[in-house]
């Protein structure tokens, strides 16, 4: 039988492809990977829309106990749903290879991902270098490997897409020390938090990779009706409220003239003017 | 009214999203951009599927005469369909900005693109640098700017996605000199042609950016049922027949261990074994 690995796109239940929806309707069980991205709607709405129970698969389930998912694909059709495109945030390579090893057929159904939708900000996808991830800093852990990657991209005149950290189902160690299994509420890094961390690293490393004057584009809820895109310097974007998750950020490299026109379109001034019209 | 700019994804008529299909059904006119990519099916099937005439929009129409498309969005809902994602190959920025200028609302409906689907080859999207385009060489025009971009990516250990040239509705200058407007049949660059051009440039420039031994992954018809992915050295892939269009090519940088396992899975030897099973 078939393990369908299906991208859900970025917005709501209607962002699935017709092919994906038909596949789900042929499935006995439907799992939703819910730790690398989120849709703009509650997963319970998906259950209603599909007429199928949607089982949440957290990181532990997918990374350690994945046979719960793939082993069933030997006898039944199983759907494994991923927000965005199945190969974007995590490749789920392991799940796919293991399923094939036990003789299940695997069919991947692609969809929009943030890496493609980020093209909406006007910086052309052709001019991006390596994508980086920015993790939440903690008191003792403030990694800066993204800084070197941004430096490399900017040396080549390239833009950098920064994907921002998501913390879902993180254990609450304090409660666990008292013997209870408790999870912290989910956290999603904002554009503002990302900019603060980026500037902290520049202030520490001082290699002039970027500055408060560097042109960036903050993006929130890409592909959703409330999508928000604002372009400005890091300094300017620090003051913009992008609203609910998910956020991502592009750091501009060399800006070409067609791109320039789009950055003006999305400028802080134009954004403020649109806010006042509402 | 609304100008819907809708991605169709990569395969057939069912790769549109439910949201995209609903939008088309609200439209008075439906245009299909058909010069930067193609679906795996004839566009006439799209007309049947949508119950709407699909008007082909060639490069000339979109780049010079786009008001045919957007001006109508002032009074009616218009759909402008793009294979893959609307922002992937061309951003259609101009069309969108012009439509907004005359007061039309623009809604972009994202979908899978080759830039995301290329993740299926096992090389992680996070480890790619800048995407390059490889144009068909002609007798007097053999540009090599992609060589410098590949060099830059490889210096950073990064993979390079190469998008391969498409020639649709190219004028037949010989016939035109005789006073007739004639177009050449469409041409789509194969993985093999791309490799030959790449090796020609390496032989000319001799900067050791890559060689016949460099690991690559050839991909054809990504996201379609006949999708073909084969990994091997440039030398090895020169002998592989990838079949019909569209093709693209990834040139590997540093290969991480999870990626290695996928490259073995897609190796020429495994591909040959699968061919014999058929």
Chain B residues with CB under 8 Å of A222 CB are 110
pLDDT of residue B225: 87
Among B112, B141, B159, residue at a domain's last position: B112
Give residue B143's pLDDT: 95
- What pLDDT sits at residue B170? 79
- With cut-offs at 50, 70 and 90, classify the pLDDT of residue B101: confident
Measured in angstroms, the CA of B226 and the nearest CA of chain A are apart by 12
- Inspect the interface and report whether the beta carbons of A17 and B9 lie closer than 8 Å: yes
- Which residues does residue B251 pair with via DSSP β-bridges, in sequence order? B160, B216
Q: What percent of chain B has pLDDT over 90?
A: 70
On whether both A81 and A134 belong to a single domain, the answer is: no
B119 shares its domain with B204:
yes
Q: Measured between CB atoms, does B19 come within 8 Å of chain A?
A: yes
Q: Is B40 within 8 Å of chain A by CB?
A: no
Q: How many CB pairs under 8 A join A and B?
A: 156
B134 shares a domain with B86 = no
Residues B105 and B137 in one domain: no
Give the gap in angstroms from C-alpha A274 to the nearest C-alpha of chain B. Answer: 14
Tokens standing for B201? 């440039």
What is the least distance, in Å, from the CA of A92 to any CA of chain B? Answer: 10
Candidates B98, B46, B45, B90; CA nearest to B69 is B98
Rounded Cα gap, residues A28 and A8, in angstroms: 18
Q: Is B225 helix (H, G, I), strand (E, B) or coil?
A: coil
Is the CA virtual torsion B219, B225, B226, B232 positive or negative?
positive
Task: Name the residue among B112, B124, B261 with its Cβ closest to that of A110.
Answer: B112
Residues B125 and B142 in one domain: yes
Mean pLDDT of B133-145: 95
Do B120 and A87 count as a contact with CB atoms less than 8 A apart?
yes
Give me the domain span that covers residue B54: 2-112
pLDDT at B18: 97
Strands (E), B110-236: 132-134, 160-164, 166-167, 187-188, 215-220, 228-233
Question: What is this structure's pTM?
Answer: 0.94
Q: What is the ipTM of this complex?
A: 0.93
> pLDDT > 70: what percent of chain A?
99
Query: Which residue from B minimizes the CA distance to A156?
Result: B152
Examine the pLDDT at B77 and tell me if it is beyond 80: yes
Query: Is the model's pLDDT at B28 over the cut of 90?
Result: yes
Is the same domain home to A62 and A132?
A: no
* CB–CB contact B110 A131 (8 Å): no
Q: Are strands B2-7 and B105-109 parallel, antiparallel or unpaired?
A: parallel
Q: Are residues B96 and B180 in the same domain?
A: no
Give the confidence band of B89 by pLDDT, cuts at 50, 70, 90: low
Domain count for chain A: 2
Under an 8 A CB cutoff, do A130 and B127 touch?
yes
DSSP state letter for A40:
S
- Whether residue B17 sits in one domain with residue B39: yes
CA distance B153 to B206: 17
Tell me which residues of chain A, numbers 48 to 107, contact chain B at a CB-CB cutoff of 8 Å.
85-88, 91, 93-94, 97
Q: Spell out which residues of chain B touch residue A160, defining contact as CB-CB under 8 Å.
A: none
Q: What is the CATH number of the domain that holds B176?
A: 3.30.950.10
- Average pLDDT score over residue span A176-199: 92
Please tell me if residue B150 touches chain A, with a CB cutoff of 8 Å: no
**Cβ neighbours of residue A159 closer than 8 Å, sequence gap 6 or more:** A123, A127, A128, A129, A153, A250, A251, A252, A253
If asked whether residues A193 and A264 sit together in one domain, one would say yes
Q: Is A139 exposed, middle or buried (0-12, 13-18, 19+ CB in 10 A)?
A: exposed
Q: Using DSSP bridges, classify how beta strands A187-188 and A215-220 pair: parallel, antiparallel or unpaired.
A: unpaired
Cα A70–Cα A75–Cα A76 angle in degrees, nearest 5: 75
> Which pLDDT score is estimated for B181?
83
Distance CA A227, CA A247 (A): 10
Q: Which of the pair, B264 or B93, is modelled with greater confidence?
A: B264
Interface of B with A in 167-226 (CB under 8 A): 222-223
Q: Which residues contact A161 (CB under 8 A, 6 or more apart)?
A: A114, A115, A118, A128, A131, A132, A248, A249, A250
Domain end point (choices B97, B112, B127): B112
Q: Which helix (H) or strand (E) holds A54?
A: strand A54-57
- Read off the pLDDT band of A252 (50, 70, 90): very high
Sign, Cα dihedral of A145, A147, A150, A151:
negative
**Are residues B133 and B161 both part of a single domain?**
yes
CATH number of the domain to which A13 belongs: 3.40.1010.10
Question: How close B251 gets to chain A, by Cα (Å)?
Answer: 15
**Domain final residue pick, A66, A91, A112:** A112
What span, in angstroms and rounded, lies between the C-alpha atoms of B63 and A227? 27
A60-86: burial string, b at 16+ Cβ within 10 Å, e else = ebbeeebeebbebbeeebbbbbbbbbb
Contact B91 A124 (CB under 8 A): yes
Query: Among A116, A134, A152, which Cα is nearest to B153's?
Result: A152
Residues A91 and A132 in one domain: no
Contact A232, A267 (CB under 8 A): yes
Taking the CA of residue A266 and the nearest CA in chain B, the distance in Å comes to 11
* The pLDDT of residue B65: 67
* Same domain as B28, residue B163: no
Note whether B93 contacts A258, CB cutoff 8 Å: yes
């Amino acid at each position: 039988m078939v393990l369908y690995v299906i991208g859900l796109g970025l917005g709501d239940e209607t962002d699935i492809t017709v092919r994906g929806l038909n596949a789900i309707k042929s499935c006995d069980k439907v799992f939703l990977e819910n730790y690398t991205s989120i849709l703009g709607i509650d997963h319970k709405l998906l259950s209603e829309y599909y007429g199928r129970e949607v089982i949440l698969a957290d990181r532990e389930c997918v990374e350690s106990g994945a046979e719960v998912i793939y082993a069933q694909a030997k006898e039944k059709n199983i759907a494994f749903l991923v927000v965005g495109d199945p190969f974007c945030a995590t490749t789920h390579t392991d799940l796919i290879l293991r399923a094939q090893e036990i003789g299940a057929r695997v069919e991947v159904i692609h969809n929009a991902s943030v890496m493609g939708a980020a093209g909406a900000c006007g910086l052309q996808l052709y001019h991006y270098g390596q994508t980086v991830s920015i993790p939440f800093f903690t008191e003792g852990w403030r990694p800066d490997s993204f800084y070197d990657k941004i430096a490399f991209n900017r040396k080549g005149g390239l833009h950098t897409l920064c994907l921002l950290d998501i913390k879902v189902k993180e254990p609450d160690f304090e409660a666990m020390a008292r013997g209870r299994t408790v999870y912290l509420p989910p956290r999603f890094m904002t554009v503002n938090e990302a900019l603060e961390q980026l500037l902290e690293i520049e202030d520490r490393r001082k290699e002039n990779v970027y500055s408060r004057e560097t042109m960036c584009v903050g993006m929130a809820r890409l592909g959703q009706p409330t999508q928000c895109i604002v372009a400005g310097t890091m300094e300017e974007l620090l003051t913009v409220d992008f609203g609910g998750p998910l956020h991502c950020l592009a750091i501009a490299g060399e800006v070409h003239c067609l791109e320039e026109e789009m950055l003006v379109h999305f400028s802080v001034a134009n954004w403020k003017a649109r806010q006042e019209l509402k």
